[in-house]
Amino acid sequence: MKTVTPATPPVVLKPQGCTNLKLRQLMRRVAQHYDAEVGKTGLKGTQYSLLSYVLKLGPLRPGELARAMKVDASTLTRNLKPLVAAGWLALEPGSDGRSRLVSITEEGRDKRTEAQRRWRVAQERINQLLGAERLIALHALIDESMELLAPSTGVEDE
């Protein structure tokens, strides 16, 4: 007579901890690596990104820039001020008397080029620390998660 062993119930995996906290911790750790390198140029990582967006897309209206960067208008205004004060970005009159355009200055182009060299150092270091396979998987997971978490209204992220 054959004895029947009861099947082992499947293990149910449950996420542990707060996803928001874990993502913020990872973001801070990654940002520290980039800020340590880009900071050698006198820029914060966010300022480097802003110069890069304006170089690529500008001149453009602040609202268009905020949408492209997925930040709100007040955050953009706050981040623009030191770059305009340093002479790296300019706010110029737009096509009518009420609009303005953000553009990058020649000094801003130079500063962005300097910062890009440091950004590459940081990028290579992250690539080395995490490894290509892990980074590819991480990028795919982030992209998929962004898609799944996108608002169902069809409205672009802000």
Structural domains of the chain, with CATH:
22-149 (1.10.10.10)
pLDDT tens digit sequence for 82-128: 999 999 999 998 888 788 999 999 999 999 999 999 999 999 999 99
Contact 58, 108 (CB under 8 A): no
- % the chain with pLDDT above 70: 93
Q: Which residues contact 144 (CB under 8 A, 6 or more apart)?
A: none
Mean pLDDT within 21-45: 94
Q: How many CA atoms lie within 13 A of 38 on its CB side?
A: 25
Structure tokens, 42: 């006198």
Number of Cβ within 10 Å of residue 108's Cβ equals 22
Q: What is the pTM of this model?
A: 0.77
- Compute the distance between CA of residue 117 and CA of residue 113 in angstroms, rounded to an integer: 7
